[in-house]
A and B are shown apart, each in its own frame.
Chain A
Amino acid sequence: MISIPRPWIPQRATSGSVTIRALLAALVWLCLTSPVAAHLTPNSEIRLDFAPGLVKADIVVPQAEFGYATGLATDNSPDSLAKARARVLAGMAVLDVHGRPWRIAVDRIAFEQIAGPPDLHLELSLSPPPGASDRALLWRWHVVTREAPSHFALLVVDGDLAGGLAGDRELVGALTAGRSELLVNRGHASLGSLLANAFGLGAHHIAEGYDHLLFLLALLLPAPLLAARGRWGAPRPARKTFAKLAWIVTAFTIGHSTTLILAAFFGVRLPAQPVEAGIAFSVLVSAIHAARPLFPGKEPVVAGLFGLVHGLAFATLVSNFGLGTTTRVVAILGFNLGIEAVQLGVVALALPVLLMLARWRHGQRARLVLAVLTGIAALVWLTERLGLS
């Protein structure tokens, strides 16, 4: 066998020793041809909320991406907003299954910070053409994606009052430069399913709304007691306690139902922050009342008045009840029934405890502890909601 010796490589002509040479090769590999990466750009998001006769769309386009793609100014001057509005409307369309356009109304447009860097934020109301289904639409979208193909927009359904959702939200798909249309078909929904879904929605909201329940429970806490000389004293007879509880719960229901109906039918609205702060304040008042009687015998009136505030909060949660009077009535009815069902359930569970507490020898101390804890929670909420923390 012939062996061929390896050639001698002159060191001076290379980078030095083999080790150094290898090191430099490694550096070239690491640095000049450094590992590449997928650089992520913020994407847009379109959230649809289906209601009978009306679809609300909440659209968020990252401000920088909008500016990059369009070259338009991204401030909140009327001229900039008008141009942004025109640009978005020119880059989108909503069609029925036969290709007829839906009516698009821009309820609100602003460049604002929602979470993270600022966004272009639009709220649209979409109405189907006469005779078309209000539960099926074709969403066409070129905004930013036409000029920046690496941008995409997620199309999401996050509300369907009549048909319900499989989870918190349902993704329809991603709109890209190469896939600019997506069909959204929510299928058929009857009045029965509208009622059932609105019921579920109401139950869900009150069950997750600890402040609403805490307000009510704190108000009920001294209900089995009689006030005397500025203190809670002897137990009230059981029959009178039941009557008192019923009045309080009914007054609260009348209160929140009133503002909910006003909001749904007449568009009565208040900004979320004062409403939420008002609710925290109501919890604080009811906590103090549970410790020392502030308005003995007037609990139903207070429950009714604060119920008005709580109803405004429900209205902000359920902003889209659709257009038709019948469907709105059914939706509000279902929503209120859901709230009442949970409320009554909680009261039914709390009632025996309240009665026992009134007759227990340590009941007064326990009530004070519960009142203080409720008061602390109310103060924390109040501080947060007033933006003081």
Chain B
Amino acid sequence: MSDKPGPKWPWILLAAVFLITAASIAFDKYKARQGPPDPLPSEVKPWFGPRNQLELEQAAQVAVDGARARLATSSDEWLRQEVLARALVRRFRATGSHADLAEADGLLDKGMAGAPFPAGPSLSRAEVSVLAHRLDAADKGLERFFAQVGEPDDGESAGAWSLKGDIAFQRGDMKAARLAFSRAEEYDNNAAVALRQSMLALRTGDPDLARRRINAVLRAPKLSRYVKSQVSLQRVTIAYATGDWKAAGTWARFADGFFPGNPLAMAHVAQQKALEGDVAGAVKQYEAVLAKAPLPEIMDALAFTLRLQGRGAESRAWADKAGALWAERYRLMPEAAAAHLVEHELALGDPAKALAVAKADAQARPHGASLILLARAQLLTGDAKGALATLERAAKTGWQTAGLYLAMADVHTALGDTDAAEDAREDALDLNPKAMDPAARYIWFGHD
């Protein structure tokens, strides 16, 4: 028997094969996690439907006029009331008019009261209640919907379960929301469910999943220009949440070009200009958008941009206009406007005024966004300990965003716990490397 060692090359070869295999598996898993790359904007194709904002508003107007005329011939019929309510919601979607939402809400109340149980516009009732942030009313609408003996079709069931998920999400029950959206997906794997799942994933710290779901919707056939432009704006939100400002700019400009005239898309482009350093251009564009569509959220964005430039008089002028509009919306639909009113007061008004509204909103909808607003109001009114408790409550729901951690950092700093503040900042930067970039303050739309 020879003591001479055998050749080493088989072992080296084996090790090389093992390493290459392991690297391939790891790379595959990584790629699978990343999902397919974003579609190119040129690959996003529309189905039929309005081609621009003007056509959308005209179509919405025609629908409202037609539904109103039909209801006039038989004003007590709940089905016609529901049809008008849906047309009004459609116009609300196009113009942002809360008066339309309030009217739709009233019509659905009438419809529910006038229909024998369990018939009636229950699903529409639930949908509008979710929009109006009236979760108990939405629950009742769904209870009535599920009480019907006739088997709903898959689309309706998916819609109902999606709404259940929305309610759970707004109540801060992320697990229940995830289960409800999965249930909806079992009935009908549609874009509406994917959008909701994307939102849920984003707010629970999984932006990759959020991006994959949005990309699927962007690639999906049979969706109108308007829908795809709005989905693109959701893609912008995901990009902001991960600090990918380049992608945000790409999709904001795509949304604006794909469906011209939409104020929200135009405002996103203005915001992007500010992020890219062209603040004067951003201000000009915001003003141009507001000349066509005087929406308070865009006024707030402009006022905040001007504040960050130190332009107090102009900022206050826009903030005052926005404040008056929010007050009117709050009068019409208090729950629907509450969070926006709080956002406005915290950024441009008086936190003391925001506190009571924020408390009520957080009590009704104890999810991360409302709780972060409440915590900010508590911090700015001198209750840093209360703010910390509120933020810890938000974290317990599974809410996981850079905005939450930055809010925590501020509260820890105010409480003198600099180590905890530093940890929170690091958590924020893990999710969003640009979370602490001073320019990030220009992000009003799609901020977390």
Q: Is the CB of B444 within 8 A of A39?
A: yes
Is B340 an interface residue when CB atoms closer than 8 A count as contact? yes
Is A91 an interface residue when CB atoms closer than 8 A count as contact? no
**Interface set, chain A 37-63, CB cutoff 8 A to B:** 37-43, 63
Q: Is the CB of A36 within 8 A of B234?
A: no
Taking A3-B149, A31-B233 as contacts, is the C-beta distance between A25 and B127 under 8 angstroms?
yes
Smallest Cβ-Cβ distance to B120: which chain A residue: A7
Q: Is the CB of A149 within 8 A of B351?
A: yes
B349 to chain A, nearest CB (A): 7
Chain A residues, Cβ within 8 Å of B230: 27, 30-31
Is A13 an interface residue when CB atoms closer than 8 A count as contact? yes
Smallest Cβ-Cβ distance to B220: which chain A residue: A23
| Chain A window 1-35, contacts with chain B (Cβ cutoff 8 Å), 1 for yes, 0 for no | 00111110110011101110111111111111111
Chain B residues, Cβ within 8 Å of A74: 310
**Interface set, chain B 301-360, CB cutoff 8 A to A:** 304, 306-313, 315, 336, 339-340, 342-343, 345-352
Chain B residues, Cβ within 8 Å of A171: 413-416, 418
Q: Is the CB of A27 within 8 A of B438?
A: no
Q: Is the CB of A149 within 8 A of B190?
A: no
Is A127 an interface residue when CB atoms closer than 8 A count as contact? no
Smallest Cβ-Cβ distance to A3: which chain B residue: B149
Q: Is the CB of B414 within 8 A of A65?
A: no
Is A107 an interface residue when CB atoms closer than 8 A count as contact? no
Smallest Cβ-Cβ distance to B191: which chain A residue: A23
Q: Is the CB of B130 within 8 A of A19?
A: no
In the docked arrangement, what's the CA distance between A154 and B418, Å?
12
Q: Is the CB of A35 within 8 A of B116?
A: no
Q: Is the CB of A170 within 8 A of B416?
A: yes
Among A26, A37, A70, which residue has its beta carbon within 8 angstroms of that of B196? A26
Is A176 an interface residue when CB atoms closer than 8 A count as contact? yes
Is A324 an interface residue when CB atoms closer than 8 A count as contact? no
Among B195, B309, B313, which residue has its beta carbon within 8 angstroms of that of A27? B195
Among B89, B311, B407, which residue has its beta carbon within 8 angstroms of that of A67? B311
Smallest Cβ-Cβ distance to B217: which chain A residue: A23
A72 to chain B, nearest CB (A): 9
Chain A residues, Cβ within 8 Å of B164: none
Q: Is the CB of A174 within 8 A of B86?
A: no
Is B155 an interface residue when CB atoms closer than 8 A count as contact? yes
B91 to chain A, nearest CB (A): 11
Among B66, B312, B416, which residue has its beta carbon within 8 angstroms of that of A68? B312
Q: Is the CB of B438 within 8 A of A29?
A: no
Q: Is the CB of A150 within 8 A of B413?
A: no
Is B289 an interface residue when CB atoms closer than 8 A count as contact? no
In the docked arrangement, what's the CA distance between A69 and B308, Å?
11
Chain A residues, Cβ within 8 Å of B149: 3-5
Q: Is the CB of A4 within 8 A of B192?
A: no
Is B137 an interface residue when CB atoms closer than 8 A count as contact? no
Q: Is the CB of B310 within 8 A of A64?
A: yes
Among A30, A71, A169, which residue has its beta carbon within 8 angstroms of that of B312? A71
Q: Is the CB of B119 within 8 A of A19?
A: no
Is A167 an interface residue when CB atoms closer than 8 A count as contact? yes
Q: Is the interface of B mostly helix, strand, loop or mixed?
A: helix
Chain B residues, Cβ within 8 Å of A27: 93, 195, 227, 230-231
Among B131, B195, B310, which residue has its beta carbon within 8 angstroms of that of A23? B195
In the docked arrangement, what's the CA distance between A272 and B111, Å?
76
Q: Is the CB of A31 within 8 A of B264?
A: yes
In the docked arrangement, what's the CA distance between A154 and B372, Å?
20
Chain A residues, Cβ within 8 Å of B195: 23, 26-27, 30
**Interface set, chain B 369-384, CB cutoff 8 A to A:** 369, 372-373, 375-376, 379-382, 384
Among B158, B199, B347, which residue has its beta carbon within 8 angstroms of that of A150? B347
In the docked arrangement, what's the CA distance between A67 and B438, Å?
17
In the docked arrangement, what's the CA distance between A384 and B92, Å?
59
Among B93, B188, B441, B445, which residue has its beta carbon within 8 angstroms of that of A19? B188
Is B447 an interface residue when CB atoms closer than 8 A count as contact? yes
Is B410 an interface residue when CB atoms closer than 8 A count as contact? yes
Smallest Cβ-Cβ distance to B336: which chain A residue: A33
Among B90, B130, B415, which residue has its beta carbon within 8 angstroms of that of A24? B90
Among A15, A30, A148, A154, which residue has its beta carbon within 8 angstroms of that of B414? A154
In the docked arrangement, what's the CA distance between A210 and B20, Å?
46
Is A66 an interface residue when CB atoms closer than 8 A count as contact? yes
Among A7, A37, A63, which residue has its beta carbon within 8 angstroms of that of B403? A37
Q: Is the CB of B264 within 8 A of A18?
A: no
A33 to chain B, nearest CB (A): 6
Chain A residues, Cβ within 8 Å of B231: 27
Is B168 an interface residue when CB atoms closer than 8 A count as contact? no
Smallest Cβ-Cβ distance to B372: which chain A residue: A38
Chain B residues, Cβ within 8 Å of A13: 63, 66-67, 70, 83, 86-87
Q: Is the CB of B351 within 8 A of A36?
A: no
Among B93, B119, B414, which residue has its beta carbon within 8 angstroms of that of A6? B119
Among B150, B414, B438, which residue has its beta carbon within 8 angstroms of that of A42? B438
In the docked arrangement, what's the CA distance between A171 and B118, Å?
60
Is B96 an interface residue when CB atoms closer than 8 A count as contact? yes
A337 to chain B, nearest CB (A): 29
Q: Is the CB of A68 within 8 A of B310?
A: yes
Q: Is the CB of B92 within 8 A of A28?
A: yes
Taking A150-B346, A154-B413 as contacts, is the C-beta distance between A28 and B403 under 8 angstroms?
no
Smallest Cβ-Cβ distance to B234: which chain A residue: A30
Chain A residues, Cβ within 8 Å of B407: 38, 40
Is B156 an interface residue when CB atoms closer than 8 A count as contact? yes
In the docked arrangement, what's the CA distance between A3 and B156, Å?
19
Among B115, B155, B339, B384, which residue has its beta carbon within 8 angstroms of that of A17? B155
Chain A residues, Cβ within 8 Å of B207: none
Is A271 an interface residue when CB atoms closer than 8 A count as contact? no
Is A116 an interface residue when CB atoms closer than 8 A count as contact? yes
Is A173 an interface residue when CB atoms closer than 8 A count as contact? yes
B44 to chain A, nearest CB (A): 16
Is B148 an interface residue when CB atoms closer than 8 A count as contact? yes
Is B79 an interface residue when CB atoms closer than 8 A count as contact? yes
Is A264 an interface residue when CB atoms closer than 8 A count as contact? no
In the docked arrangement, what's the CA distance between A137 and B257, Å?
60
In the docked arrangement, what's the CA distance between A150 and B89, Å?
34
Among A6, A30, A116, which residue has its beta carbon within 8 angstroms of that of B152? A6
Is A179 an interface residue when CB atoms closer than 8 A count as contact? yes
Listed in ascending order, the chain A residues whose CB lies under 8 Å from chain B are 3-7, 9-10, 13-15, 17-19, 21-43, 63-71, 74, 116-117, 147-150, 152, 154, 167-171, 173-174, 176-179
15 contacts between A and B (CB under 8 A): A3-B149, A7-B115, A7-B119, A19-B188, A19-B192, A22-B192, A25-B131, A26-B196, A27-B227, A35-B199, A68-B315, A71-B312, A117-B438, A150-B346, A178-B381
Q: What 7 new A-B contacts, CB under 8 Å, besides A27-B231, A154-B414?
A: A13-B87, A26-B192, A35-B203, A152-B379, A169-B418, A174-B384, A178-B381
Query: 9 shortest A-B CB distances, which residue pairs?
Result: A67-B310, A171-B416, A18-B155, A3-B149, A23-B192, A38-B376, A64-B310, A37-B447, A22-B159
